């Protein structure tokens, strides 16, 4: 059996879809379905069992027999970067993850989990070592603290534990995330509804619209995630999961305007003052450690990826 926490979420549902395409259906989906809209992501997927998140956390702290579990993918978390309730965030992301990691260590079950590029904050280099890590919000801190926990226990691990620092993931299945979805569905909707796409004015030393991110397709994220789950204990550690290329919001907006093939325009709006100290104006994953691990597959070009996603969004 394979366990996928956050299995009805964005990356989790895409991971299960890929497993299904490989003929793997013996999957336990762990999720908190308080947001019932998530079910749209899993209605067409094949699983053998479902467990509520709270029940699963209790099971991890018990003598639950999971001798038949092959791998665990921990993708469940609070991903709202605008959430400032530190107690809630730490319980949802750090506390939950720690219990699961200790369980997997005890049972010697390979674990691949979702970390985040948010751990770096406002940096110019994004390398998986402490000197580059300085999160801007409680979400990033909750992810970093668990990475630190894993680093400590990875000194002499009893099983494979891999943390993947996902950068800006986009693709099918993110629509339920609302404001936390990538800019692509937001820009697409703005274009359809108003004929305009709104970008931030200049900020953090960047000209209007030229703030940039490392956008990576969810298909590539799933591929990296599955690949690591099949490796030996020697691969235990923290790795960036991005393309190694940073693309401006201006480029993404122009790609969407060109895809629609109609007259549209870009409108620059004032940068929100409340985001000044908690906004990453630039991200770009350093891939040296990832490549040294042996993962050598190419990542989808952002232009192609955005165009494919737009075709799906507007079908």
Distances (CA, A) of 16 to 30, 67, 76, 132, 259: 12, 21, 13, 33, 30
Distance CA(47)–CA(116), nearest Å, equals 27
Distance CA(171)–CA(257), nearest Å, equals 18
Distances (CA, A) of 13 to 53, 133, 168: 15, 29, 17
Closest-CA residue to 220 (of 309, 282, 283, 280): 309
Tokens representing 97 are: 């993850």
Secondary structure (3-state) at 45 = coil
Q: Cβ of 195: how many Cβ atoms within 10 Å?
A: 14
| Residues in the chain, total | 315
Distances (CA, A) of 212 to 97, 201, 258, 282, 304: 30, 13, 19, 5, 17
**Residues noted as catalytic:** 139, 177
Closest-CA residue to 221 (of 14, 4, 7): 14
Distance CA(67)–CA(199), nearest Å, equals 51
Closest-CA residue to 79 (of 180, 185, 163, 148): 180
CB 150 within 8 A of CB 101: yes
């Amino acid at each position: 059996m394979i366990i996928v926490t956050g299995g009805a979420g964005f990356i989790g549902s895409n991971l299960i879809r890929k497993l299904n395409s490989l003929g793997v259906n013996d999957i336990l989906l762990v999720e908190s379905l308080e947001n019932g809209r998530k079910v749209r992501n899993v209605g067409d997927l094949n699983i053998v069992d479902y467990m509520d998140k709270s029940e699963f956390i209790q099971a991890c702290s018990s003598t639950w027999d999971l001798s038949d579990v092959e791998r665990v993918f921990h993708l469940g978390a609070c991903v709202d970067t605008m959430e400032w309730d530190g107690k809630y965030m730490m319980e949802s992301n750090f506390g939950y993850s720690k219990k699961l990691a200790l369980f997997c260590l005890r049972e010697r079950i390979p674990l691949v989990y979702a970390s985040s590029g948010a751990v770096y904050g406002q940096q110019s280099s994004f390398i998986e070592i402490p000197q580059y890590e300085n999160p801007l919000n409680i979400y990033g801190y909750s992810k970093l603290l668990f990475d630190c926990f894993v680093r400590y226990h990875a000194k002499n691990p009893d099983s494979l534990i891999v943390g993947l620092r996902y950068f800006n993931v986009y693709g099918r299945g993110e629509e339920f995330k609302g404001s936390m979805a990538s800019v692509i569905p937001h820009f697409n909707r703005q274009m359809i509804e108003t004929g305009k796409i709104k970008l931030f004015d200049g900020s953090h030393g960047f000209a209007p619209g030229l703030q940039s991110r490392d956008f990576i397709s969810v298909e590539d994220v799933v591929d990296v995630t599955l690949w690591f789950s099949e490796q030996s204990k020697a691969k235990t550690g923290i790795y960036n999961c991005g393309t190694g290329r940073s693309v401006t919001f201006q480029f993404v907006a122009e790609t969407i305007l060109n895809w629609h093939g109609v007259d549209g325009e870009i409108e620059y709006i004032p940068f929100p003052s409340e985001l000044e100290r908690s906004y990453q104006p630039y991200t770009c994953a350093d891939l040296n450690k990832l490549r040294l691990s042996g993962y050598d597959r190419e990542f989808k070009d952002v232009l192609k990826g955005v165009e494919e996603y737009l075709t799906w969004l507007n079908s």
